[in-house]
Homo-oligomer: A and B are copies of this chain.
Amino acid sequence: MRNPTLHDVARAAGVSYSTADRVLNERGGVAAKSIQRVQRAIQDLGYRRDIHAANLSRRRSYRFAVFLPRGDHGFFSALGRALLAQAEARAADRVSVTLCDPGQRDAGDWDCVALVGAESEGLAQVIADLADRGIPAITLVSDIAGPRRSYVGIDNAVAGRTAGRLVRLAHGRGAGRVLPVLGSLSLRDHRERLDGAAEILEASRLTLLPPVEVHDHPDRMRDALATALRADDGITAIYSIGAGNRGLIALMETLGEARPFVVLHELTPHSRAALERDLIDVVIDQKPSEEAARALDAMRAIADGEEPPVAVITPAIFFKENLPGVSA
């Protein structure tokens, strides 16, 4: 009943433990036919290396680095916190996470690193650098062009379509004008969300207005929105694609009952409070803690030489009515 050990494999293959070990760990210096016999035995017995015993023996720990954009970019700081919390929770599994600054030259000896995919910056350089050093990498939040890598994050186009669907739902069969607000059109994720929303709104009686860029800044958000609403009193919905929602919320507070329907991203204490106070209608959340958990799962699998599980995170939709309790 017990799982077979490498000793069992060796016995079944009719070779010594040493040889089985040499094959398993690809140490070389083994005749082709021995390799085959061992692999055959591994197959037959369904042998799987006991990864915990192996880790114990080689005193291995999982040293992961995550490069997050610096600054208090709401979602990224939440993700950073979630990653550290997850690492703490997995201390028993020998997982450690270090948050790094993407600007800085890195010379760490990592088992795997995670990067936030963004086209700007010298990211391609960093990746090439890592590849040179034989360090595997995954991307977070937003995938990146280039050699295929494992990706953990939400599908931004799906998020945008979800927003579009919610806006449509809120309008019933009626008409309306939807104002998209985003950080910048040069940000890939923002563009993807916008395109996703546009795709859904196209087929309806709703008009998607040209997007306003507010560079994720609350004050600009507030001013730009106030201006836009003054200029066009037919706006029935706002889709806030990026950050800076404190400004949006503050503005909604001044409008009272007559405010447009509002969809925004990321569940934060602010957006949560705004939902509860009926200042906004829907929050689409990327679930940083789930993303952190899946990212570590993927990195561990890669470090163990396994195939990382596919992990596309379905964004959560929160209304006032289904806010999670204290836990999340």
The residue of chain B having its C-beta at the shortest distance from the C-beta of A91 within the complex is B48
Q: Given A169-B169, A169-B170, A327-B310 in contact, is the A161-B52 Cβ separation under 8 Å?
A: no
B321 touches A162 (CB 8 A): yes
A321 touches B164 (CB 8 A): yes
**A158 in complex: contacting residue of B2, B172, B315, B322, CB < 8 Å:** B322
Instruction: Write the A115-158 contact mask toward B (1 if CB under 8 angstroms, else 0).
Output: 00000000000000000000000000000000000000001001
B51 touches A319 (CB 8 A): no
B48 touches A56 (CB 8 A): no
* Chain B contacts for A327, CB-based, 8 A: 310-312
Q: Which of A322, A325, A328 has the most CB of B within 10 A?
A: A322
B320 touches A165 (CB 8 A): yes
Q: Given A48-B92, A314-B324, A324-B314 in contact, is the A319-B56 Cβ separation under 8 Å?
A: no
Shortest Cβ distance from residue A172 to the other chain B in the assembled complex, whole angstroms:
4
Report if A32 contacts B (CB, 8 A). no
B319 touches A316 (CB 8 A): no
**Alpha-carbon separation in the docked complex, A178 to B158 (Å):** 29
A166 touches B165 (CB 8 A): no
Shortest Cβ distance from residue A192 to the other chain B in the assembled complex, whole angstroms:
14
* Chain B contacts for A164, CB-based, 8 A: 321
Instruction: Indicate the size class of the contact surface on chain A.
Output: 35 or more
**Alpha-carbon separation in the docked complex, A320 to B200 (Å):** 11
Q: Report the copy number of this chain in the oligomer.
A: 2
A314 touches B322 (CB 8 A): yes
**A319 in complex: contacting residue of B55, B165, B174, B325, CB < 8 Å:** B165
The residue of chain B having its C-beta at the shortest distance from the C-beta of A173 within the complex is B172
* Chain B contacts for A162, CB-based, 8 A: 319, 321-322
Report if A276 contacts B (CB, 8 A). no
A165 touches B321 (CB 8 A): yes
**Alpha-carbon separation in the docked complex, A155 to B165 (Å):** 25
**A315 in complex: contacting residue of B169, B170, B322, CB < 8 Å:** B322
Q: Given A171-B172, A172-B170, A314-B316 in contact, is the A51-B92 Cβ separation under 8 Å?
A: yes
**Alpha-carbon separation in the docked complex, A53 to B172 (Å):** 60
Shortest Cβ distance from residue A50 to the other chain B in the assembled complex, whole angstroms:
7
**Alpha-carbon separation in the docked complex, A158 to B309 (Å):** 30
* Chain B contacts for A319, CB-based, 8 A: 162, 165
27 A-B pairs in the complex with CB atoms less than 8 angstroms apart: A48-B91, A48-B92, A50-B56, A52-B53, A155-B325, A158-B321, A158-B322, A159-B322, A161-B322, A165-B319, A165-B320, A165-B321, A165-B322, A169-B169, A172-B172, A172-B174, A310-B327, A312-B324, A312-B325, A312-B328, A314-B316, A314-B318, A314-B324, A314-B328, A315-B322, A316-B317, A317-B317
Known: A51-B92, A169-B170, A171-B172. 17 other contacts (CB 8 A): A50-B92, A52-B56, A52-B92, A89-B309, A158-B322, A159-B322, A161-B321, A161-B322, A162-B319, A162-B321, A169-B169, A169-B281, A311-B327, A312-B327, A314-B318, A314-B322, A316-B316
